[in-house]
Amino acid sequence: MILLIASAFAASPAPPAPAGVREVSVGLLGSAESVMQGGLVDAYPKIGGSFSLEGLVSVQVRGPLEIGLELGYRRLTGQRQDGSSSWIWYAPVSVLASGRLDLGAVSVLGGLGPSMVVWQEQGSPEATTGRQDSGARFGVLVEASARWHTPFLRQPMYLERAGTSAAGLDIFASFGARFSDVADSAAGAGCAEEPCGFDWSALRVGAGVLVRF
């Protein structure tokens, strides 16, 4: 699917890039994530090792600086202490400022940036004592990755001179850690004292593909 979309872009003229932008990449990341808060893992065992697809957009500006945006979504079911069922969804959003080192067909990146997790938890309709939690938790994401600039989608010289949009296809792997601000209060968590709400600190590993423009 990604190859077909990229091939279609390759046949169309590329708009002029904004000043200072060297490259724009769009892709998908398959991410495995392990949330480290014990209470969450007890209620939702899969949250200790969940998998989902995430969207990724990155912009390489002048010099080695690259700015990336990652957006994900997970929904898990669990069981409360009283035996009633519940579910929780959470969506991590991160902006990374990374340093990029190009080594021929491979690029290595390392960076950090602000991260936010938005979540909502709900007991089953049958649960009359179920607590409803929702909120947002801010933190920091630290991540390192390596990209292989594959020979796929490379443009013939005459298309390069014509200024076509798709420049290539990258395969990449990443490893990172998210650190939540546990002192930040959470809306609707029903806590009498701070720190309140969930700690969304997590270890992350992933792999995916990027189409470069």
Q: Where are the domains of the chain?
A: 2-13+20-77+91-115+141-179+203-212
Chain centroid, CA 81 distance in Å: 31
pTM for this model (two decimals): 0.76
Q: What is the pLDDT along the chain (213 residues), one digit of tens a residue?
A: 544 444 444 444 445 555 567 889 999 999 999 998 867 787 788 888 889 999 999 999 878 999 999 999 999 888 766 677 788 899 999 999 999 999 999 999 999 999 999 988 876 544 444 445 778 889 999 999 999 999 887 655 444 544 556 678 999 999 999 998 766 444 434 455 544 567 889 999 999 999 988
Q: Residue 119 to residues 53, 163, 174, 204: CA-CA distances in angstroms? A: 17, 43, 24, 18
Which residue from 72, 42, 89, 37 is spatially nearest to 143, judged by alpha carbons? 72
207, 172 contact by CB (below 8 A): yes
DSSP-assigned letter for residue 158: H
φ/ψ of residue 14, rounded to 5: -85, 135
Does domain 2-13+20-77+91-115+141-179+203-212 sit in CATH 1.10.3470?
no
